[in-house]
Amino acid sequence: MTKRLKIYTPFISAGIQETATYRVDLIFYLLGDVLACFVSYFIWKAVFISSESEFLHGFTMPQMIVYIFLMFLTSLLIYSDGTYNIGEEIRDGSIAMRMLKPVSYNATFLFQEIGNKLVTNVILIIPLVAGVEVVRTYVTGEIQFNILHFVLYLISCVMAYLINFFFNICFGFIAFIIKYLWGANMMKNCVVGFLSGAIIPLAFLPDTLEKVFLFLPFSSLNYTPVMIYMGMYNSSQTAFYLGLQLFWVLFFWGLSKLLWSGASKRLSVQGG
């Protein structure tokens, strides 16, 4: 097992170097996304000011604000861009180089991305969690940090990342059919953004839709970790949704293996 993992360490260190090279760009990019976060902050603030009741679908204004910032943090932690990388490799033919190596194709991506994430997540998680907690203490008036929720949140995030990674790999295989992944990827991000509660909490949807969406794999991405962190789930709900996450991890892992064995047989590279 250690030996098998050892062959992937070069991919991890390549990922680390890749991200470390562009850390300044990363900061600007993040600032751009933080701005988008503030847009939602002000919209929701205006919504609660304009509303007559204190609760909207079970959320108070402070909770909603915490929700927005946690969504941002979670999306960042579990971000995966396998789709795009696979698409690019199919387009420029470098996929052939990766296939020549005696390692698992999907795993090389996973470990390279883990390398990327080691840099970004380790640098970012402490200031961002601290930031979220400061905002939370400020808007609610008392310290809400709960270590158990936080640990469960991290576990949930790891599973969410794996779901995201394998789902993106599966989606990336679309590049075998559609050569233009940018457009398809935009569509995917948009649908996933909605179904995962990143745009609006699923609780704001009509009841039946909410129930259906909670069972779909997308709510396992952002929504489950955020709800756990916020303490919106009781212990049996937490156990249930963590179990559901585990199910989706295994599901997409299996599916990506299946698709890869099918797709690699009919690979046609343009140029290269």
Partner 1 sequence: MKQIKRAFRMHRIFVAQELKRMMEYKGDFIIGIIGFLFVQASNLLFLTLIFSNIPSLMGWDYTQVVFIYGFSLIPKGIDHLFFDNLWSIGHFTVRKGDFDKYLTRPINTLFHVMVEKLQIDALGEFLMGVALVCVTLPKLQVEWSVLRVVLILAVIPFATLIYTGIKIATAAIAFWTKKSGDITYMFYMVNDFAKYPVGIYNRAIQTIITYIIPFAFTAFYPAYFFLTGENPLFNIGMTVVISVVLMSIGILIWNRGIKAYESAGA
Residues that bind partner 1 (CB under 8 A): 22, 24-29, 31-33, 35-36, 38-39, 42-43, 45-47, 49-51, 56-57, 178-180, 182-187, 190-191, 193-194, 199-200, 204-205
Minimum distance from residue 200 beta carbon to partner 1 (Å): 6
Structure tokens at 120: 């970004």
Minimum distance from residue 32 beta carbon to partner 1 (Å): 4
51 vs 264 by CB, closer to partner 1: 51
Question: Do residues 136 and 144 touch, judged by C-beta distance below 8 A?
Answer: yes
Minimum distance from residue 259 beta carbon to partner 1 (Å): 20
**Which of these, 131, 135, 128, 125, lies nearest to 45 by C-alpha position?**
135
Amino acid at 259: L
Minimum distance from residue 48 beta carbon to partner 1 (Å): 9
Minimum distance from residue 63 beta carbon to partner 1 (Å): 15
99 vs 134 by CB, closer to partner 1: 134
Minimum distance from residue 136 beta carbon to partner 1 (Å): 19
Q: What is the DSSP letter of 233?
A: S
46 vs 155 by CB, closer to partner 1: 46
Minimum distance from residue 154 beta carbon to partner 1 (Å): 28
DSSP string, 203-217: GGS-HHHHHHHHHSG
Backbone angles phi, psi at 201, to 5 degrees: -55, 140
46 vs 269 by CB, closer to partner 1: 46
Question: Do residues 215 and 52 touch, judged by C-beta distance below 8 A?
Answer: no
Rg over alpha carbons for the chain, rounded to the nearest Å, is: 20
159 vs 174 by CB, closer to partner 1: 174
**Helix then strand then coil, % of the chain, to nearest 5:** 80, 0, 20
195 vs 242 by CB, closer to partner 1: 195
7 vs 37 by CB, closer to partner 1: 37
Residue 235 Cα distances to 82, 183, 228, 239, angstroms:
33, 41, 9, 6
Amino acid at 51: S
Question: Do residues 31 and 134 touch, judged by C-beta distance below 8 A?
Answer: no
